[in-house]
Structure 1
Amino acid sequence: MNPPLLDRPLRVLRVCVHLLVAGLLALAAGTALADGVAHAGAVAATAVVLGAVYATGSALRRVGRSVGATAAWLAVLGAAWLVLLALTPVGVYLAFPLFFLQLHLLPPRPGLVAVTATTLAAISGFTWHQGSLTPSAVIGPALGAAVAVATVLGYQALYRESEQRAHLIAELTATRSDLAAAERTAGTLAERERLAREIHDTLAQGLSSIQLLLRAAERALPHQPDAAAGHVELARRAAQDNLAEARRFVHALAPPDLDDRSLPTALHRLCATTTAQSGLTVAFHCSGTPAPLPAPVEVALLRIAQSALANAVQHAGASRVEVTVSYMDDGVALDVVDDGVGFDPAALPKPGCAGGHGLAAMRARALALGATLNIESAPGDGTAVAVSLTQDATT
């Protein structure tokens, strides 16, 4: 199959060859009849036979597809041409279209051999009719063969280049499709990771708080109904907050804690809610003059504080936690410090393991902001989580 860009030139070339053969055959027959040569009828008959053989080969589908059928047709065509060449010197002109047929239909080496043989036959036939070997008898057929070879080789080089270009385009298209699929996959994984962090920092922690409150209510119910009712009320509020978070996931809105509130206000509310739900003393401090921050920065800092407080409540065994947000000229910092049992940071579980996802989520959030996250802890010495953002990261 030829490249689409070369289909039209090839069709034009074929039509030109057909017309050239028909015209030369008509010239050979007409010239013989007009000159009244003795064998004019034989020339005309041979021209008709040659035309019929040529037309038959053009109509047969196997010619051009089967090497054997093509070689056989060219041999019959060449034999008819040799007869015409022997009858009239005009037959030498038919060597030119024969060159194109041989080079186009045969493999490269057999094609060049056939062209060489046809050239020698044309020179010999023209010399026989003239009675002597002249430069014109050699230059004409040789020049025609050279032009045919240059034309066909140029077409074949253009064909190969076009085919390579089509192959490269196909590879680029496939690569672009693979890249688009990889980007979609990466986007899907990133969105899954984001949702996992959101669920861990909000819904999962809220449900854990509700579970703890309901257990406390269950224990207090037989002997302290009022305390049990207080626990149930706190659990109800936690469930209400979790419902708001779930709606935010659906509508992709900002965190409810930050709706119409500044980050310090949201952190203060978070500390108060944690104290009410867990009984852990959580103190909040704001240092410096609060300045508006981009929504993604405030959301990330709030979520890191939520995750750090959840770890303090569930794992640290702490009695007090200090949450401090500091506004400085060159950025903002968040510190969450507890007096719990501490741990060895080098022995952290891998992301996705039980107890390890919260810290991994905090690191991922900080990395997404271009912030610095430091976790300092040791067994028996409590834990300090510090997040700092430069002015560039908060703009």
Structure 2
Amino acid sequence: MPALLAAMRIILHVTVAGLLAIGLVRSLVPAIRSGEHGLVWQIASLAAVFAIVYLAGTVLEKRRSDRSSLGEGQIVVRAQLAWLIAVTLTWLGLMAVHVDFAWLAFPLFFLHLHVVGSRSVPIAIVLVVLLTVTVFLGFWWHEGRLGIGAVVGPVIGAVVAVAMSAAYSLFYAEARTQRRIAAELQATRDHLARSERHAGAMRERERWAQDLHDTLAQGLASVVLLSRAAQEQHSAEPLAGQLQQIERSAVENLAQARALVEQRGPGAGLSAELLATCRTTQDTARSAGSDLTVEFHGPDAGPGGEAGDPPMGAEAATIVLRVAQSALANVLQHARARRCVVTFVVHRDEVTLDVFDDGAGRGDRPEGFGITTMRQRANTAAGTLTVEDAFEPRNGDGATGTVVALSVPRWGERA
């Protein structure tokens, strides 16, 4: 359909060029033979102006139509009445000079129907009638009479132009309908593709949940049973304290593994889970012989660790918990720190988490898997994560400490 409309447009422009060329030949040849050089210049100038105005308008509107979503096949987009008036006035000047330019009225019929008809069809038809009457007057002015051809030709041309304009409008409406249907079909395909990707992701998540349940969760459960059995056999030995810490860690990680399998976020409240993670990290460090102290500051955190979290999105809560766990694991394993402070704040549109330690710092080492994973978690929720030195090196040991700063939208999207 767009190809047909474009073909009709090309035919119109070729018709204008052909009729203008015929008018030039039929008017200039007699004038040149008779030596009327003034008339020659007058005809040539008016024809040049007509051609330039017509060509400039069509080229400009073609570019606009190409940029529009439904522009293919349009002749004049956003009806340029000033351009149409200029073309019509130039044509009247040509017809006043020579009657053979009167036949340019045929394509002008179509232009008026299209440009003015897009606003008012009755007014466009009235203009076509006025153009037809103008052609009659042109023949009367130049020939002193109206022949049958001078009457029948313009009338037939006007009727054909009206019919072609109606057909063009129908074709254009059909093209718009086809484009709308194509757009809806593409949107349906995109939605189906997204649904298939989501279904694939859910299948992959289910597979991972099954693997976690059958491997990691079962292994942690075995660690719990073995540590309890060891404590019962060696309850009076110093090893019992370390076994108790192993059991606590295994129990907590077993609960987290089951939460992943069940696709649950933080359970008893995010602040409570963050506080528990901080205590577990400190207890693990003490059992390993380190004097690391881990402090937690969060919403309404009391002396006894009570915390009441303002509401937030499940995605944000999960990301904050996972980043805190990963950052504290890095502190425990690599930082050789004596003090660590975890600060959790809920703002109006975002939640922030800062994990500070006074350890050795990262130095010039590249980011490891843990930091990369934390940053990827933040990016999935349009959040940010930065890892910086906490302070300038001091005491000659080169230690700089580390600050991990996380910011994620509170409800899953930026305000």
TM-score range relative to shorter protein: 0.3 to 0.5
- What is the TM-score normalised by the length of structure 2? 0.44
- Larger gyration radius, structure 1 or structure 2: 1
More helix by proportion, 1 or 2?
1
TM-score (norm 1): 0.46
